[in-house]
Amino acid sequence: MSTTTQTPDVAPRGGVPNPLGVHALVWVGDTSPASVSEAIGQTAEAGFDLLELSLHDSVNLDVPRARAELAEAGLKVVCSRGLAFDADVSSDDLAVVERGAALLHESLEVTDGLGGSHFTGALYSALGKYGHPLTAAGRHNVVTVLRDLAKEAQAKQMTLGLEICNRYETNVINTAHDALRLADDIGEDNVSIHLDTYHMNIEEDDLVRPVYDVGSRLGYVHIGENHRGYLGSGHLDLTGFFHALADIGYTGPITFESFSSAVVAPGLSNDLAIWRNLWDDGYDLASHARTYIATGLAAAWRR
């Protein structure tokens, strides 16, 4: 199968070939107009190239206004989401699957309306702890729904990302191997792999081998510490990860992701198991992260 994908059309602001992004939940906990404006302003001020918006709260999102503000700030956008257990495309219950498929199609439209070319996340299941392994019927439903979504995305010149999440947040894909197999079964060229160092730390043997395994099919990256705090304050081998990205010639987006209940709404904080806060100043956290990532990548690319 071909591995051609579209990555967000952004020009990095200097130093490294990768557009650097930040998750909006570092700044705000919802997508109300005021919150989106704040997130856009903070993202631009901190020197990032793109903003990732979670569509868990998209009912409150003013799409035309957000698109105009992003353009004015010179930022590109990536959208992400997970599903709920009552709208889970990996369910055996077709009514539940249909609700999940509807949410995914709606989210794809929102992403397109914002001017985004990349829609990613746990698009394949609810985001939460399952009490059983994925069934054959459930996996068939995932493949069917995401194949249809990928075809719709292709018509809009958009890419889907399969974010690999840990065992406590999904039972569908937990490793790069799982994700590659699912992408192969979906069989559409615009389905890419989304690596996340926080989840990789739990499920993979190291942070390097999965990068090589995914190779040219890598379409998006989340950088987060093992405890979701300041980069470099945990035990992750981010230097090795940056070098692996450079080795495969990855020039796509790299987005910093971290959560604190000081910012994220209580319901979502609980879903993400944010039981302790490692930061309360999003701007300091994000500014530090941008410098850390840019410095690490620059060193890796200079080798």
pLDDT tens for each residue of the chain, 303 residues long: 444 444 444 445 557 899 999 999 999 989 999 999 999 999 999 999 999 999 988 999 999 999 999 999 999 999 999 999 999 999 999 999 999 999 999 999 999 999 999 999 999 999 999 999 999 999 999 999 999 999 999 999 999 999 999 999 999 999 999 999 999 999 999 999 999 999 999 999 999 999 999 999 999 999 999 999 999 999 999 999 999 999 999 999 999 998 877 777 666 666 676 666 776 778 999 999 999 999 999 999 987
111: left (phi over 0), alpha (psi -120 to 50) or beta: alpha
For the entire predicted model, the pTM comes to 0.92
Phi, psi of 39 (to 5 degrees): -65, -40
Contact 119, 79 (CB under 8 A): yes
The CB density around residue 181, as the number of other CB atoms within 10 Å, is 12
The CB density around residue 64, as the number of other CB atoms within 10 Å, is 9
- Identify each DSSP E strand in the chain by its residue range: 20-23, 50-54, 76-80, 118-120, 159-163, 191-196, 218-223, 254-256
Contact 251, 18 (CB under 8 A): yes
Give the catalytic positions in this structure.
Answer: 163, 257
Spatial separation of the C-alpha atoms in residues 11 and 8, rounded to whole Å: 9
The CB density around residue 2, as the number of other CB atoms within 10 Å, is 7
Spell out the domains of the chain, with CATH numbers in brackets.
20-302 (3.20.20.150)
Burial class (CB in 10 A: 0-12, 13-18, 19+), 102: exposed
Phi, psi of 44 (to 5 degrees): -65, -45
Instruction: Enumerate residues 6+ apart whose C-beta is below 8 A from 246.
Output: 297, 300, 301, 303
Contact 47, 76 (CB under 8 A): no
